């Protein structure tokens, strides 16, 4: 029997050596590796500015902090996402207004965005669901027309491109995650990218208390700096940056493997009548292939956990993206009085889908094994 883990960070000798080198030296934070990592990330994505932070949640929070959203403001967010997308809005005292998914890709339904804009709306937050890029040209057009700020939550979108432009560079701010199951990892970590110099300058100060000199070597007199703004402590440390720099060298290989795995897995899954699959890369839309999500059709919907359990017994770990549509989560339901099914397409995805790994730790035989295990599981529960 094989063991197929959903996520398995690939940490080689290079990462280990780089981390040990940091541990053997005097600088654990405020050092040069964060800057080098930012440069490598900017080069890969094509961003004018990249600012390393402690998580994607921190990046999202900083984006709203920069914008100064607060009580009385509204931000449009997709219902089908990690709760961090909405929490970042809540943390500022503003209200997340949930937009349902389109059933073709699972991305936020662009056709609904304009209907939900009110005089209180300040921003649109977009998530590239499972790495499939959202039609950003449409979002930016609406945002420009209505004077709104655009945040791209790119937690699953390293390598996602639309007409060759990397995700995160269409809006005002793009926010990435380096949590262990993501495309690359720094254990915990994140990155803000932006084309806007004003955003970059302010966010790089606000991630570190609003201090004007972040890297120790920039301080002419040790310990001397000024505080120009209100800020948080959302820095990435040198250990994470050392890992991230090595991981960036692996990104092209990781993406290639993900694509190949996705194609092998999807070809096998197409033979299963009981599931639906979301649309992935086509034309100028290039996915980052975070995972494949199989949506169970009617007779099998109630058997989802049994299917997942059977796959686990066959050695295949699965997951769910995301466990509930955010407006169906207790915190949001209790606070705003949403009933289940406020966003029916998002709820359907959360309630019926099983996520299957295509991570670079796996190969074609693992994909074929996953398909067979899925078929066995369906046979078993029927
Ligand atoms: C869409 C999305 N946004 C934000 C996050 C949070 O990322 P982090 O753990 O780096 O804060 C996640 C995590 O899975 C995510 O999927």
Query: What DSSP letter does each residue of 45-104 carry, written as one string?
Result: HT-SEEEEES-HHHHHHHHHHHHT--TT-EEEEESSS-HHHHHHHHHTT-EEEEEPBPTT
Of 211, 227, 247, which one is at a domain's C-terminal end? 247
**Cα 275 to middle of ligand 1, angstroms:** 27
What pLDDT, in 10s, does the model give residues 147-180? 999 999 999 999 999 999 999 999 999 999 999 9
Q: Is any ligand 1 atom within 6 A of the Cβ of residue 175?
A: no
The predicted structure's pLDDT at residue 337: 87
332 Cα–ligand 1 center, Å: 18
270 and 333 within one domain: yes
Q: Are 376 and 314 in contact (CB under 8 A)?
A: yes
Number of domains in the chain: 2
Ligand 1 atom nearest to CA at 59: 11
Number of Cβ within 10 Å of residue 338's Cβ equals 18
pLDDT at position 25: 97
Centroid of ligand 1 to alpha carbon of 177 (angstroms): 6
Q: Which of 59, 160, 177, 192 to mutate to test the pocket of ligand 1 (most atoms within 8 A of CB)?
A: 177
Q: Where are the alpha helices (DSSP H) in 114-269?
A: 136-146, 197-206, 238-269
Give the per-residue pLDDT at 219: 64
Residue finishing a domain among 205, 221, 247: 247
Ligand 1 centroid to 155 CA: how many Å?
Answer: 5
Cα 31 from Cα 276, distance rounded (Å): 48
pLDDT confidence of residue 171? 98
Final residue in a domain of this structure, among 217, 247, 277? 247
Enumerate residue ranges in the chain where pLDDT < 70: 214-217, 219, 339-340
Q: Which domain holds residue 365?
A: 251-381
Same domain (yes/no): 140, 285: no
Q: What is the pLDDT of residue 342?
A: 87
353 CA distance to ligand 1 centroid (A)? 19
pLDDT at 10: 97
Which CATH number do you get for residue 108?
3.40.640.10
The pLDDT, as a whole number, for residue 214 is 65
pLDDT digit string (tens) for 199-227? 999 999 999 999 877 666 676 777 788 89
Q: Residue 40: CB within 6 Å of ligand 1?
A: no
Residue 113 pLDDT? 97
Q: Is 150 a domain residue?
A: yes
pLDDT above 90 as % of the chain: 92
Pairwise CA distance, residues 319 & 232, whole Å: 33
Q: Which of 128, 155, 178 to mutate to test the pocket of ligand 1 (most atoms within 8 A of CB)?
A: 155
């Amino acid at each position: 029997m094989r063991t197929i883990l959903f996520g398995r960070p690939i940490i080689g000798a290079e990462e280990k050596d780089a981390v040990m080198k940091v541990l053997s030296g005097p600088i654990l934070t405020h050092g040069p590796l964060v800057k080098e990592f930012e440069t490598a990330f900017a080069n890969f994505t094509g961003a004018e500015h990249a600012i390393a932070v402690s998580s994607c949640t921190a990046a999202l929070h900083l984006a709203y902090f920069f914008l100064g959203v607060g009580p009385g403001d509204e931000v449009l967010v997709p219902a089908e996402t990690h709760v961090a997308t909405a929490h970042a809005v809540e943390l500022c005292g503003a209200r997340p207004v949930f937009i349902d998914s389109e059933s073709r890709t699972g991305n936020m339904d662009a056709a609904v965005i304009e209907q939900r804009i009110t005089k209180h709306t300040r921003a649109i937050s977009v998530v590239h669901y499972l790495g499939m890029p959202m039609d950003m040209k449409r979002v930016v057009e609406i945002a420009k027309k209505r004077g709104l700020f655009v945040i791209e939550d790119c937690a699953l979108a390293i390598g996602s491109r639309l007409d060759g432009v990397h995700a995160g560079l269409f809006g005002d701010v793009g926010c990435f995650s380096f949590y262990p199951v993501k495309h690359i990892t720094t254990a915990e970590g994140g990155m803000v990218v932006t084309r806007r110099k004003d955003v970059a300058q302010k966010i790089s100060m606000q991630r570190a208390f609003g201090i004007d000199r972040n890297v120790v070597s920039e301080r002419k007199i040790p310990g001397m700096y000024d505080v120009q703004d209100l800020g948080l402590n959302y820095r990435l440390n040198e250990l994470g940056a050392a890992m991230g720099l090595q991981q960036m060298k692996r990104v092209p290989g990781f993406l290639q493997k993900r694509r190949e795995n996705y194609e092998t897995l999807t070809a096998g899954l197409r033979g299963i009548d009981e599931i639906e699959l979301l649309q992935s890369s086509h034309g100028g839309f290039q996915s980052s292939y975070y995972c494949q999500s199989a949506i169970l059709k009617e007779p099998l919907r109630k058997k989802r956990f049994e299917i997942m359990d059977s796959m686990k017994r066959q050695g295949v770990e699965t997951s769910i993206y995301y466990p509930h549509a955010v407006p169906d989560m207790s915190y949001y339901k209790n606070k705003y009085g949403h009933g289940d099914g406020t966003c029916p397409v998002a709820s359907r995805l959360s309630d019926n889908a099983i996520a299957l790994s295509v991570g670079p730790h796996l190969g074609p035989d693992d994909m074929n094994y996953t398909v067979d295990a899925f078929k066995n599981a369906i046979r078993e529960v029927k």
